Amino acid sequence: MHKVDIAIVGGGMVGLTLANALQALDIQVAVISDKPLSKSLPNDPLLRVSAINGANATALQRLHVWQRMEQSRLAPYTSMTVWDKDSFGEIHFNSADIGAAQLGHILENQVLINALAESVRGQNVTALQGQIAKVLWGQQETMLMLDTDEVVACRLVVGADGANSYIRRQANFPLTFRDYGQTAIVANIHCEQPHDQCARQVFTPHGPLALLPMADPHTCSIVWSQTHEQAKHLLALDDTAFSHALTATSNSVLGLMSLASARQHFPLVMRYSRQWASDGVVIIGDAAHTIHPLAGQGANLGMQDAFALATAIENCLKANKDFSRLRHLRPFERERKAQAIKMIAAMDGFKTLFAGDNPLKKLIRGAGLTATDHLPLLKQKWLNEAMGW
């Protein structure tokens, strides 16, 4: 029997971010994961990456997590270019526009997870490996029964267990979801020309292609979101034909491109939980929301959930309030639901505007991008928003 104040179900970026943010508080925390938290890193970069914005990077530095990451695998980007395929619209962003050293960092997810896991070892956090077999909800305490025969008793369960959250289902939180109608193809590619620490995105009639700069100057991570039919066609191509299609779609902006890894793919679905909290339980990250990856804000949104929840719990402790009660979790729920809805709406708007090849829409897109590129105050506002400031 493990008796703790808070049990975090999920050992990914969001769950471990919360565990780190709670370290300074006088409470006991358990992190339950169905797989080992840390993994050894191969020499070649892993496929799953995230763009971490300035606000989250600063928060991780304050927690002394950022410093634990393998610095040679961090990929800062200082500029960003977005353009519309088959149109004249193009917009450029630069970190100098807002007086910042960089716009963000591209990180392999496991690099950050390793640092987060290392940071909580030996503190007031107990790490347990196993799957939740049963949840027994109580008035003042919840029992989590693992398939390893271990039992965790806690005052508050935090579901940070991903898009198919077991905790969300057990709590009976209603879910709204919608198929974006697209499949994301991810891979690492070798570029003939150096990426110059520039993140690039091109919108095509079938969906966006993102070229994310990695630590190696000739390596990029791609997220190519296409309609299911078009993605199926691209995945059926051999490596050479796929590389040619990639080079053509990007207008050869980095010269010839070639695959440097296998390809993976997954369907894109918007999910939004209409309830995030109840007495003794709260959900965060992908358990509460998933959005289109076209702006790279999914991980940032989830990490901000974790930091906001940690602040809410700290405020409850200072005011001698029970942080496990719904009435004290309501402010957190309202704030984060509003941010999630705002981001979902923005992603839906971008996806709708840039989808298809209707001549009028192409004209509006081109004119809008070009005009915005000459409005420095608007660009600065967008950058501050994207960086979490």
Q: 340 pLDDT exceeds 90? A: yes
SS3 label, residue 29: strand
Q: What is the pLDDT of residue 223?
A: 97
Q: What is the pLDDT of residue 365?
A: 67
pLDDT of residue 210: 97
What's residue 369's pLDDT? 72
Mean pLDDT of 42-54: 95
pLDDT at 86: 76
Map tokens 């997220």 to a residue: 223
Q: Is the pLDDT of residue 356 over 90?
A: no
pLDDT at site 385: 79
What is the share, in percent, of the chain residues with pLDDT greater than 70?
Answer: 96
Q: Looking at per-residue confidence, does 348 or 133 come out higher?
A: 133
- Would you kindly state where each structural domain of the chain is located, as residue ranges? 2-38+48-69+108-176+270-350, 76-106+181-268+357-386
Q: What is the average pLDDT across 172-185?
A: 96
Task: Kindly report the backbone phi and psi dihedral angles of residue 22, in degrees, each rounded to the nearest multiple of 5, phi listed first.
Answer: -90, -5
What angle, rounded to 10 degrees, do the helices at 359-373 and 376-386 form? 100
Q: Residue 361's pLDDT band (boundaries 50, 70, 90)?
A: low
pLDDT value at position 347? Answer: 83
Confidence of residue 124 (pLDDT cuts 50, 70, 90): confident
* 208 pLDDT more than 80: yes
So what's the architecture of 2-38+48-69+108-176+270-350 in CATH? 3-Layer(bba) Sandwich (3.50)
| Count of other CB atoms within 10 angstroms of residue 389 | 12
Question: pLDDT tens, 365-378?
Answer: 667 777 777 667 77
Fold topology of 76-106+181-268+357-386? D-Amino Acid Oxidase; Chain A, domain 2 (3.30.9)
**φ, ψ at 336 (rounded to 5°):** -75, -35
100 Cβ contact partners less than 8 Å away, ≥ 6 residues apart: 54, 387
> What is the structure's pLDDT at 386?
76
**Average pLDDT rounded to a whole number, residues 148-153:** 96
What is the pLDDT, as a whole number, of residue 258? 97
DSSP string, 300-325: HHHHHHHHHHHHHHHHHHHTT--TTS
Q: What is the pTM of this model?
A: 0.94
70-115 pLDDT tens trace: 999 999 999 999 998 877 788 899 998 888 899 999 999 999 999 9
Split at pLDDT 50, 70, 90, the class of 217 is very high
Structural contact between residues 106 and 77, judged by C-beta atoms closer than 8 angstroms: yes
Mean pLDDT of the chain: 93
CB 118 within 8 A of CB 38: yes
Q: Supply the DSSP symbol for 40.
A: P
For residue 123, pLDDT beyond 80? no
Give the full edge-to-edge strand order of the sheet including 277-278: 125-129, 29-33, 6-9, 156-159, 281-283, 277-278
- As a whole number of angstroms, the distance between CA 265 and CA 227 comes to 12
Side-chain half-sphere exposure of 42, counting CA atoms within 13 A: 5
Q: Rounded mean pLDDT of 183-209?
A: 96
Instruction: Tell me: pLDDT of 127 over 90.
Output: yes
Over residues 280-300, the pLDDT tens digits come to 999 999 999 999 998 788 999
